[in-house]
Chains A and B, each alone.
Chain A
Amino acid sequence: ETGVTQSPTHLIKTRGQQVTLRCSSQSGHNTVSWYQQALGQGPQFIFQYYREEENGRGNFPPRFSGLQFPNYSSELNVNALELDDSALYLCASSLGGQGIYEQYFGPGTRLTVT
């Protein structure tokens, strides 16, 4: 059974640029949730995708967008990067539309915006 993987591991971008982060869900899981974890804080829910549709969104502006593909892998896109977007971005996969239970997290992508 393959766990949740994320790429890249680290990324450095300049303010105003755009970034795409990728997540492969655990085998058999059809739901992916994305979280932002700023330094010294807990993960903060960005949004969830279930069967290729957005299925809930946290308090993040529209420049945070996502996609889920037929194989249930997912992308997080952030446009017009700001310095405060520097954080660890975590994805978590689960089975079913209610992604709050038994979520399996990837190791994260560390994004630094300069």
Chain B
Amino acid sequence: DQQVKQNSPSLSVQEGRISILNCDYTNSMFDYFLWYKKYPAEGPTFLISISSIKDKNEDGRFTVFLNKSAKHLSLHIVPSQPGDSAVYFCAASEYNNNDMRFGAGTRLTVKP
């Protein structure tokens, strides 16, 4: 069962513009959400997270928004840079549960 879904396999944006990556989940018990970035031949690297008690978390150019009623979260990257080109994974988990569920990923391409 795919409890975390990233419906856009790919996204292409121009350098300097905003990138918006979306993620939907079905398990209402999830209370911690993370975004990971993955470059080729490397493991995923942690980018930003948000707990269910918040609806927004910001870290520099990266902001994650959580809409619990819609079971939806999004990652905004502003401004986008060519170095942001990577595969982005959304992940979710219940507190005290080690089984973190990942989406299938969205490949972001930022064009110079």
- Residue numbers of A with Cβ under 8 A of B are 4, 33, 35, 40-45, 48, 55-56, 58, 90, 92, 98-108
Given A42-B105, A44-B102: A103 and B46 interface contact (C-beta under 8 Å): yes
Q: Which of B46, B96, B102 contacts A42 (CB 8 A)?
A: B102
- Residue numbers of B with Cβ under 8 A of A are 4, 6, 32, 34, 36, 41-46, 49, 89, 91, 93, 96-105
* Distance A55 CA – B98 CA, assembled complex (angstroms): 8
Within 8 Å CB of B36, what residues of A? 105
Contact at A105–B4, with CB atoms within 8 Å?
no
Q: Which of A40, A100, A104, A106 contacts B32 (CB 8 A)?
A: A100
Within 8 Å CB of A103, what residues of B? 46, 100
* Distance A98 CA – B105 CA, assembled complex (angstroms): 24
Q: Which of A33, A98, A107 contacts B96 (CB 8 A)?
A: A98
